[in-house]
Amino acid sequence: MTKAEKVEFTIKTLQELYPKIPVPLDHKDPYTLLIAVLMSAQSTDVRVNQITPVLFERADNPWKMVKLSVEEIREIIKPVGLSPMKSKGIHGLSKILIDKYNGEVPADIELLKELPAVGHKTASVVVSQAFGIPAFPVDTHIHRLMYRWGFSNGKNVVQTEKDAKRLFAKELWNDLHLQIIWYGREYSPARGWNLDKDIITKTIGRKSVLQEYQKAKKSR
């Protein structure tokens, strides 16, 4: 297969598997999505979805959130990890949204990145999923699969994002990044990986990855 054929096969397979794409983090508007994505850093979506209802029952908008102390927010979100940093970020960005944006979340990656505890990935997820603006946030699943499929060198997520944006048409980015995440979880995980179920990697995967898998399989 040529690189173009591999890309086409990947897109076609993902679209067939995920014609309707669920958003992993529960939310009701751009603000609650922003908070949920911030909380998901070095945590799981399942854990975040267990905690956000508790937090949002107390405060589901910036005005209510700033009425809580940083300590109160920290106590609620402690199970997701990194609660000292995240609670300060949540309280701080809520105040900035009120003071600078009339409580609205800006639909701009660069403006979002100016908010406390909001990095490039978080900002990309928000503009993509809340506003429909093309972006390609790269998480661990996408980083792993882009390498397994031979679409990126796996050196860092910055390069992986550049490669993804170069390979895939812009109008597909918002769907594809979610489709790849779901595929990575269900068919091509980091642990407990079964290549027989992973049709994309089995068909187009990087030769060294396939060889390493077979080598590891024999040694079990």
Of the candidates 204, 211, 182, the one whose C-alpha atom is nearest the C-alpha of residue 45 is 182
Shared-domain flag, residues 125 and 143:
no
Shared-domain flag, residues 78 and 122:
yes
Classify 29 in phi/psi space as left (phi over 0), alpha (psi -120 to 50) or beta: beta
Number of domains in the chain: 2
Shared-domain flag, residues 127 and 35:
yes
Q: What pLDDT is recorded for position 59?
A: 98
Shared-domain flag, residues 214 and 163:
yes
**pLDDT tens, position by position, 20-36:** 998 899 999 999 999 99
**Residue 25: inside a domain:** no
**Residue 151: inside a domain:** yes
Q: Burial, 46: exposed, middle or buried (Cβ in 10 Å; 0-12, 13-18, 19+)?
A: exposed
Shared-domain flag, residues 92 and 150:
no
**pLDDT tens, position by position, 25-75:** 999 999 999 999 999 999 999 999 999 999 999 999 999 999 999 999 999
**Residue 142: inside a domain:** yes
pLDDT at 217 over 90: no
CATH, residue 101: 1.10.340.30
Residue type, 84: P
* Domain stops at, among 115, 131, 147: 131
* Domain stops at, among 92, 112, 131: 131
DSSP alpha helix (H) spans, 59-193: 62-65, 70-77, 83-101, 109-113, 120-131, 140-148, 157-167, 173-186
Domain span at residue 68? 30-131
**Residue 122: inside a domain:** yes
* Domain stops at, among 131, 166, 187: 131
**pLDDT tens, position by position, 76-120:** 999 999 999 999 999 999 999 999 999 999 999 999 999 999 999
Shared-domain flag, residues 15 and 48:
no
Residue numbers annotated as active site: 121, 139
Shared-domain flag, residues 158 and 118:
no
**Residue 73: inside a domain:** yes
**pLDDT tens, position by position, 137-159:** 999 999 999 999 999 998 899 99
User: What CA–CA distance (Å, rounded) separates 161 from 121?
Assistant: 10
